[in-house]
Amino acid sequence: MNMKRIHLLFVLLLVSLLPIAAEEYMGICSLTSQDEKNATFESAGMSAKSRLVEENAIHSLFYTLFYTGIEGVNNGKPLVHKENKTYTNGFFNEQAKYTFYVISSSPMDKVQKVGSEYRATYSIQIKLSKLIADLKTNKVFVETSNPMTMGASDVATTSNMILPTVIVVPFKTPEYDSYSEILQNDPDRRIAVNEVQKGFEQKNITTIDLMSKIAAAQRVSQYDKNAGAGQSSDRALLQQSGADVYVEVDVLKDVQQSGSRVNLTLKAYETASGSIIATQQTTSTQRYRTVATDVLCAYAVKENIDAFLEQILKNFSPSKGTRVSLSVSIDGNATRTMSDPAGSKGYALSNVIRQWVRKNAYEGKFHMQGMVDDNMTFDYIVIPPIDEDGLRMDAAQFSFLLEEYLKESENIPCSARLEGNKIMITIYD
């Protein structure tokens, strides 16, 4: 055998042992279900050719399992502990070792072209227990715990607490007057809001879609886009959303020759009071060879959502009582005032209302913002987590109980309406 042929064989062998660097993986993968032997994942794929997107999604799944880790498998830690390129590269080159483990692969959405690349997400079921057994045989995997057990950081599986409802909104900068304008004109913030919302949904947190709320408000002419009213309109939108918490998102791209990432600033506020309850500066820990904002945001959210959500649950939980606001107004045609006698004992109307709130607020927690002749406002009242029937208390039930008390116990004619967690009572003569 001549030297040229020996050299060529050596080069081919060397190439077969090198990591597959030409293919780029999105790494957006999550575990959706599993049993004792198999597991199903969602995995995003991309390629310059539409026919290769599915294969890329499968490659991305195995690459993430091997080198990054997926929550729910091996406590979220990578399966490859000691690299054996002769074995692992076979999953990503023409050997296609992954075919021995993939049971099924089906698209979850249509392949779409984004810039110069095609993308789609697939549901992929694999023989996870067999894969782990083979990794052990080839001495690349060292088991730290039961690798088939879902991770403990999944909020929904580790806690029976009542979880808050969340709406995600963009950070408002001076050049924009409303959330609507930002969503229409700032694609980076729009994408960031969407990715953060998906991050909460993957943790089984109920979310309210901001764009849907804006569209609904605009249809009934409740959303004023004039420059002078943007702040108040957005605040009203949040109050009427029904969300316990709103999360504000700001995004900044960080593009370097070594790769790209994004910096996300997340702040969570209690909707009823506007009090800040959590803040997190989130940045993906490594740089990626892409400038696609959705991909970069997905990485940053994935790496930081657990810590941010932990803050929210620590500082706000319906199990500790939910905050609502209350506004009691005298009807414009009525002659009475808040200082006039009312009810069965003839106390001032304001005292009748305040004493009921004091007795029914959870642990007596409330704050009266102020009172004039025709209005009294409580900027927050903490309502009990459950009612006398053992059912969850919400703003609608608390409003009903107050209306019932005024009408039936104190013979004070009134009506009540609700906008999200804001209760509005109107008193008549």
Give the pLDDT confidence of 116-144 residue by residue, as tens digits. 888 888 999 999 999 998 898 888 886 65
Question: In this structure, how many other beta carbons lie within 10 angstroms of the beta carbon of residue 220?
Answer: 7
**What is the pLDDT, as a whole number, of residue 21?**
41
pLDDT of residue 259: 74
Burial (CB count <10 Å: 0-12, 13-18, 19+), residue 3: exposed
Six token digits for residue 86: 């002769």
pLDDT tens for each residue of 263-282: 889 999 988 777 788 898 87
Quick one: average pLDDT of 408-418?
93
Min mean pLDDT across 157-161, 217-221, 234-238, 370-374 is at 157-161
pLDDT tens column, 238-250? 877 878 899 999 9
SS3 per-residue string spanning the chain? CCHHHHHHHHHHHHHHHCCCCCCCCCCCEEEEEECCCCEEEEEEEEECCHHHHHHHHHHHHHHHHHHCCCCCCHHHCCCCCCCCHHHHHHHCCCCCHHHHCEEEEEECCCCEEECCEEEEEEEEEECHHHHHHHHHHCCCCCCCCCCCCCCCCCHHHHCCCCCCCEEEEECCCCCCCCHHHHHHHCHHHHHHHHHHHHHHHCCCCCEECHHHHHHHHHHCCCCCCCHHHHHHHHHHHHHCCCCCEEEEEEEEEEEECCEEEEEEEEEEEECCCCCEEEEEEEECCCCECCCCHHHHHHHHHHHHHHHHHHHHHHHCCHHHCEEEEEEEEECCCCCCCCCCEECCCCEEHHHHHHHHHHHHCHHHCEEEEEEECCEEEEEEEEECCECCCCCECCHHHHHHHHHHHHHHHCCCCEEEEEECCEEEEEECC
pLDDT tens per residue across span 374-404: 999 998 898 888 888 877 788 889 999 999 9
Look at the pTM and tell me if it is higher than 0.75.
no
Give the Å distances, CA to CA, from 419 to 222, 231, 236, 326. Answer: 12, 17, 9, 10
- CA distance linking residue 45 with residue 54, whole number of Å: 6
pLDDT at 300: 80
Placement of tokens 């009903």 in the chain:
400
Q: Output the six-digit token pair for 136.
A: 């052990």
Q: Tell me which of 83-97, 223-237, 314-328, 380-394 is least confident.
A: 223-237
In this prediction, residue 164 carries a pLDDT of 81
The answer to whether residue 177 scores a pLDDT higher than 60 is yes
Question: How far out from the chain centre does Cα 400 lie?
Answer: 31
Comparison of pLDDT for 401 and 173, the residue scoring more: 401
Closest CA to 394 of 312, 314, 324: 324
Convert the pLDDT of each residue in 325-365 to its tens digit. 899 999 989 999 999 999 989 999 999 999 999 999 998 88
Calculate the dihedral angle through the C-alpha atoms of 204, 207, 212, 218, rounding to the nearest 10 degrees.
170
**Which of 211, 185, 184 minimizes the C-alpha distance to 197?**
211
Q: How many CB atoms lie within 10 A of CB 315?
A: 15
Structure token digits, residue 59: 């490659």
Q: What is the mean pLDDT of the chain?
A: 81
**Which CATH number is 163-317's, of 3.30.390, 3.30.70, 3.40.50, 1.10.3470?**
3.40.50
Inform me whether the pLDDT recorded for 16 exceeds 50. Answer: no
Reported confidence tier of residue 72, pLDDT bands at 50, 70, 90: confident
Cβ 381 vs Cβ 361: under 8 Å:
yes
In the predicted structure, residue 3 carries a pLDDT above the cut 60: no
Percent over 70 (pLDDT), the chain: 84
> CA nearest 353: which of 393, 280, 410?
410
